[in-house]
Amino acid sequence: MSRGRFGIDDSPVFVIDQSRCIGCEACVQACAECGTHRGQSLIHLERVDRATSTQTAPMVCMHCEDPTCAQVCPADAIKQTEEGIVQSALKPRCIGCSNCVLACPFGVPKYVADFDQMMKCDMCTDRTSEGLTPMCASVCPSEALWYGTIKEFNDTRSGSLFRDFMFGRQEVRTKVYTVIDDALGGPLDVLAGVTRTWLDDPFGLDHVQATS
């Protein structure tokens, strides 16, 4: 009997919408409960600039279609499943060089010095393989981390699902989706020089003050 919420034909997707994050850290706690890396929280959650912004930056593995981490691994320790999940380093192979930690465009893998190996988010393979929601998405109160079918997303959320990123000249397509409003605006250019987002003035008060 399946315990899962999703059936084999549902094809649920993982969605990360950083703009919704409220920095509660529930995901950080939940991540450490994942069966494939019990006790180690592998999700990232930081404040972008505590002095000037309330913006927090959660980051799970985006599961790139052509993962940079795997390509720069000298031990060939990072493997991708048929479903496109980029797995944590194979423990017998990883030699702890940190190439993946430094090369990942999203800054995801962690080098765990105690174990002398890299560990990273594997989208809770133990749960998702049984049709369950990943730990972080199951506890996120603001749905910044969300897991469900594309139909569910379209029925309940605004914005468009998007998964193309530009890092300098390098375009990266991921399995995990993000959310943007202008889907026709081309890949999400990470180096567009953004220092301020709508969150810094969510109600447009700066604009009102400037015009009065």
Partner 1 sequence: MWGVVGVAVVVALTFIGSDRLVWFDAALVGYLFGVIFAVFGVAYRYAVWLRRPPTAMLNRRGWEAFRQRKARNIAALPSLVATHLLTQGFIRRRSRARWLAHQLVFWGCILAGLVTIPLTLGLLHFESVGQQADRYQVYVSRVGTLRFDAESILGWLIFHALDIAAVLVLAGVFIFLRRRLRDPGAMAVERSGDFLALAGLFAVSVSGLFLTVSSMWLEGRFYSALNTIHALTVILGLMYLPFGKLFHIFQRPGNLGVAYNKRANAEGEPAVCRRCGEPFASAQQIADLKEVLPQVGFDYSIDGGGNYQDTCPRCRRALVTLAQSARVGGFG
> Which residues, 130 to 189, sit near partner 1 by CB under 8 A?
157-159, 165, 167-170, 178-182, 185, 188-189
Q: How far is the CB of 211 from partner 1 (least distance, A)?
A: 19
Binding residue for partner 1 (CB under 8 A) from 22, 52, 83, 102? 102
Does 68 bind partner 1 (CB under 8 A)? Our answer is yes
Near partner 1 in 19-48, by CB under 8 A:
19-20, 34-38, 44, 46, 48
Helix (H, G, I), strand (E, B) or coil at 39: coil
Count of positions (residues) in the chain: 212
Q: Give the DSSP H or E segment for 34.
A: none
Question: DSSP character for 88?
Answer: P
Binding residue for partner 1 (CB under 8 A) from 104, 136, 137, 140? 104
Binding residue for partner 1 (CB under 8 A) from 11, 22, 65, 116? 116
Does 71 bind partner 1 (CB under 8 A)? Our answer is yes
CA dist list (Å): 211 to 181, 205, 207:
26, 10, 6
- Number of helical H runs and strand E runs in the chain: 7, 9
Does 76 bind partner 1 (CB under 8 A)? Our answer is yes
Which residue do the tokens 């399946």 mark?
Answer: 2
